[in-house]
């Protein structure tokens, strides 16, 4: 997940002991969307890309991505992460 997020512009670091990944939200998109807080960004992702995240505004403008799916094998894991990256890749984020 960290690699997929890095490829679309997020400053993501693979967690050492968890399957949660917190990243700072972008300020907006080149197409004009602006995000005042993590809640707004989280709502944008679910409405526009069907990607569910958990906003974490209490600690700053962060959202939590979590890898919570059942994969039959490593190939299935790659398929899911490729789909997440595909959904995010057509958005030009401004950080």
Sorted by where each starts, the structural domains of the chain and their CATH numbers stand as 2-94 (3.90.1150.10)
Q: What is the pLDDT of residue 35?
A: 98
Q: Kindly tell me if the per-residue pLDDT of 68 is higher than 80.
A: no
Q: What is the pLDDT of residue 32?
A: 97
| Global pTM value | 0.83
Nearest to 58 by CA among 5, 6, 21, 22: 22
Per-residue pLDDT reduced to its tens digit, 24-63: 999 999 999 999 999 999 999 999 999 999 999 888 899 9
Q: What is the pLDDT of residue 72?
A: 84
DSSP codes joined into one string, 35-80: -SSHHHHHHHHHHHH----EEEGGGSSEEEEE-----SSHHHHHHH
């Amino acid at each position: 997940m960290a690699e997929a997020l890095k490829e679309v512009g997020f400053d993501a670091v693979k967690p050492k002991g968890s399957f949660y990944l917190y990243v700072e939200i972008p300020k907006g998109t080149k197409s004009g969307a602006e995000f005042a807080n993590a809640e707004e960004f989280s709502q944008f992702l679910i409405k526009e890309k069907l990607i569910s995240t958990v906003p974490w505004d209490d600690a700053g403008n962060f959202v939590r991505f979590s890898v919570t799916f059942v994969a039959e094998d490593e190939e299935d894991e790659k398929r899911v992460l490729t789909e997440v990256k595909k959904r995010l890749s057509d958005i030009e984020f401004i950080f």
